[in-house]
Amino acid sequence: MAENAEILETELNVNREFKDTVFSLLLNGDTEAARLITNSFSGTNYPEGTEVVFKTLQNVFTKGRINDLAFVVDNRLIVLVEAQSTLNENMPYRMLQYIAETYKKLHARRDEYRERRFTLQRPKFIVFYSGDKEMDEDVLTLRLSDMFAPYGPADAVADDGAVDLELTVKMYNINRGRNEDKLKNCTTLRHYAIFISMVHEYRKTMPLEQAIKQAVVDCIDQNVLKEFLLKHEGELVNMLVSEWNMETALEVREEEGRTEKAKEIAKKLKELGRPVEEIEIATGLTVDDILRL
């Protein structure tokens, strides 16, 4: 079963290299939406007509996008945006890779060898969460430093709480009823959130593909992303099915990994002579699973 999940994940990851996500297909190139997202989620006040240049990373071999959105506003601020339907605590690490590659695209290699300091656009890292797992907070702050290994007894440097490298990502919950004060300022993003919420709702009673198709029909009827959905209806269903199936494959692999770890712990506890009832409580495995080890 684990092997099947791994194969499915690989196939879907390859597929994603060739296709955009629905989010990136909707927003890449929309300079006005980019400006409104920046103002609403960065606390800026860039006026209408401000220059916005998209710098989303492209895979040179497949022509697909590597990240969801990256754009420079007024040559001062670079905004990296990802849309997620899973609560991924590793986003700071991913954003670190994205911003490094984006800066390489923005600045000539010779700049780094100059004696005088050159100017970098200020980075802003945003994640929009629209998954069906509960996120208690409206905004979650993820820091790269939280991923660092702790100091050990052999470390020569005292742990004074300081870090030499930091990157902060703000994850905004855009599910129904969340962060509405910010979403109201950008119609395109708000409508995207409505569409995804509809899909989640219909998935409770319908197969995934049917749920997506029904959400498309209802959104068109309600004038939510109408032009976009009419233009991309065919490919959009396949894209969303691929995205959701990839996430399911990852969840399956993660769950199987936890089960294998629990079995390893249970086996060691059995070898130590611990009672089956105690092992059951400690690992969450059933009595039958423990006895078979």
Span 77-133, pLDDT tens digits? 999 999 998 888 999 999 999 999 999 999 998 988 989 999 999 999 999 999 888
- pLDDT above 70 for 221: yes
Task: Identify the pLDDT of residue 4.
Answer: 43
Q: Spell out the domain ranges in the chain.
A: 2-149+164-292
Percent of the chain with pLDDT over 90: 54
Q: 129-141, pLDDT tens digit by residue?
A: 998 888 999 999 9
What is the CB-side half-sphere exposure of residue 103 using CA atoms within 13 A?
A: 17
Average pLDDT score, the chain: 84
Q: 232-282, pLDDT tens digit by residue?
A: 988 888 878 777 766 655 555 566 666 777 788 778 777 777 778 777 777
Rounded to two decimals, what is the model's pTM? 0.77
Q: Are 89 and 163 in contact (CB under 8 A)?
A: no
Helix (H) or strand (E) holding 71: strand 69-73
Scanning the chain, the segments in alpha helix (DSSP H) are 2-18, 22-27, 31-42, 91-106, 180-183, 187-203, 208-221, 226-271, 276-283, 287-292
Task: Identify the pLDDT of residue 264.
Answer: 80
For 5-14, the CB contacts below 8 A with 24+ separation are 5/249, 5/252, 5/253, 5/256, 6/249, 6/253, 8/245, 8/246, 8/249, 9/246, 9/249, 9/250, 9/253, 12/242, 12/245, 12/246, 12/249, 13/246
For 133-140, the CB contacts below 8 A with 24+ separation are 133/86, 133/87, 135/87, 135/171, 135/173, 135/175, 137/173, 138/172, 138/173, 138/178, 138/179, 139/170, 139/171, 139/172, 139/173, 139/179, 140/170, 140/171, 140/173
Q: 58-72, pLDDT tens digit by residue?
A: 765 445 568 899 999
